[in-house]
Amino acid sequence: MIIIDGKAIAIQIKKEIVGEVNRIVAEGGKRPHLAAILVGHDGGSETYVAGKVKTCEEVGFKSSLIRCENNITETELLNHVIELNNNPDIDGFIVQLPLPKHISEQKIIEAIDYQKDVDGFHPVNVGRMSIGLPCFVSATPAGILELLKRYNIETSGKHCVILGRSNIVGKPISTLLMQKAYPGDCTVTVCHSRTKDIKNYCLNADIIIAAIGVPEFLRGNMVREGAIVIDVGTTRIPSSETRSGFQLKGDVAFEEVAPKCSFITPVPGGVGPMTIISLMKNTLLAAKKTIY
């Protein structure tokens, strides 16, 4: 059983990005520039955005943080988006979700220039991904593909069972893994809350991607010997043992499942560290104009 070390892979990719940035700057190019819009003071969002800003520094990107209060109007937020769209120094930007209820997330996402949409949430990027065209792939699915690739995990002809049909994980990773590509060429099954006998699907899976948001949903008796398990769950559970006062729980009962697996990602330290680094990779691609 091999524990997939997302943290180590993320550090490795970080080094590769630093190398690229140094090369670009040495050749007189512009330093990649990522901006983030953060609305309000949600604890999770603050942490994520702080992590993104910090990683930008580490890889040598310029970063900008636009902070808005919770009572910002949709029009005001749209104006920030338009400004970033038009700012030639900004290569890519994100609007940290969730947004306050009085603002339409979809409207904001669609206002982002898809050529700067490094989160890969704009319909043009989602559509191009589905068709199999170059695009910004959103961070979590991109991170999963990268882990499979870096560990040389064979995917062709494998049965991949995906738990969850969200727009940011389940649906895109299902599309990506069925493509004629590596990683890909999987027979893909998508299970969700309406699936009957989910255990049976899991027992028939070569690869399980758990993105259902229920802590320890996948138990030892749901996994066959030799399976590859990717845990996308990150539920925050209150905890008195950590400094932050909470603990991250994955969708997989790790202690039970791990002994049966050929490969498994832990939580934390599996898919998590890959998401920020995927955003950095997208920003680099945006700066280099590789995709658009």
> What does the binding site for a copy of itself look like in residue numbers (CB under 8 A)?
106, 122-133, 156-157, 159, 165, 167, 171-172, 174-175, 178-180, 185-192, 194-196, 201
- State how far the Cα of 96 lies from the Cα of 16, in Å rounded to an integer: 26
Q: Check if 119 is active-site.
A: yes
Closer CB to a copy of itself, 49 or 137, in the complex = 137
Q: How far is the CB of 270 from a copy of itself (least distance, A)?
A: 25
> Which CB sits closer to a copy of itself, 114 or 254?
114
Residue partners of 270: CB distance under 8 A and separation at least 6? 4, 6, 147, 230, 231, 250, 264
Cis peptide before 98 (omega within 30 of 0): yes
Of 5, 117, 119, 206, the active-site residue reads 119
Smallest distance, Å, CB 60 to a copy of itself?
A: 32
Can you read off the two tokens belonging to residue 281?
């990779």
- Of 190 and 286, the one with the shorter C-beta distance to a copy of itself is 190
Cβ 180 to a copy of itself shortest distance, Å? 8
113 is annotated as an active-site residue: no
12 is catalytic: no
Report the chain's terminal Cα–Cα distance, integer Å. 40
Catalytic residue among 52, 116, 171, 249: 52
Nearer to a copy of itself, 33 or 171 (CB): 171
Catalytic residue among 96, 117, 249, 251: 96
CA nearest neighbour of 163 among 189, 130, 127: 189
Residue 146's Cβ-side half-sphere holds a number of Cα atoms within 13 Å equal to 29
Nearer to a copy of itself, 31 or 159 (CB): 159
> At closest approach, how far in Å is the CB of 10 from a copy of itself?
27
Strand order in the sheet with 92-95: 62-68, 33-39, 92-95
CA dist., res. 172 & res. 127, Å (int): 10
Peptide bond into 238 cis (omega under 30): no
Q: How far is the CB of 200 from a copy of itself (least distance, A)?
A: 9
What residues are annotated to the active site?
52, 96, 119
